[in-house]
Amino acid sequence: MMKSTKKKFEDTFEHLFINESVHEGEYDEELSDGYVKRLIQENNVSLSSVVVILIGAETYKRKHVDWEIYAGLTEKVGGHSGLIGILLPTYYSAIENSDLDENKYHINTIPQRLNDNLSTKYAKIYKWEDVFRTNNNGEYMIKDYIDAAFDRKNNESNKIENSRPQMKENME
């Protein structure tokens, strides 16, 4: 059986980070949005120094992704979180190449709160294959990307754009 992209990411880079992401089905759909938002803030994001968004073809439609980004950009003990996005191979399978801009993604098919912070230069976005390349020290490039996001968190938090209303529903 082929390993999922998310699982490959987690297994390959587990030595670089602690995974606190929201897992599918983690929160009962019957729970109130306010309660789930609080759980995401307290259980998933409160200790994060960098939020990494794995972006597939449907990621931009998910309210929990928006809530994770919002929680990461909200000041907490330890400050804000840095923010990066990684375009998964599944992202490209659903997007026409002619629709891609010079950054190799289309702004309407990535989480909008992430896009807001790409515009201010607080966040960066990378391609899946780039995170597996190695730098001059033989380390995966994802380490450099996370370190740069951590530096932006500490030195450029004035660029954070988190004023967009949180998503209320998943998009169809």
Band of pLDDT at residue 49, cut at 50, 70 and 90: confident
What is the C-alpha to C-alpha distance for residues 29 and 46, in angstroms, rounded to an integer?
A: 22
pLDDT greater at residue 38 or residue 64: 64
Within a 13 Å sphere around the CA of 66, how many CA atoms are in the beta-carbon half? 21
Percent of the chain at pLDDT > 90 equals: 41
Residue 47 has pLDDT above 90, yes or no: no
Q: What is the pLDDT of residue 27?
A: 60
> Whole-model pTM above 0.75?
yes
| Structure-block tokens of residue 27 | 């929160």
Band of pLDDT at residue 167, cut at 50, 70 and 90: very high
If we measure between CA atoms, which residue out of 171, 169, 164 comes closest to residue 74?
A: 164
pLDDT greater at residue 126 or residue 24: 126
Query: How does pLDDT run across 99-136, given as a tens digit for each residue?
Result: 555 557 888 899 999 999 999 999 999 999 999 999 89
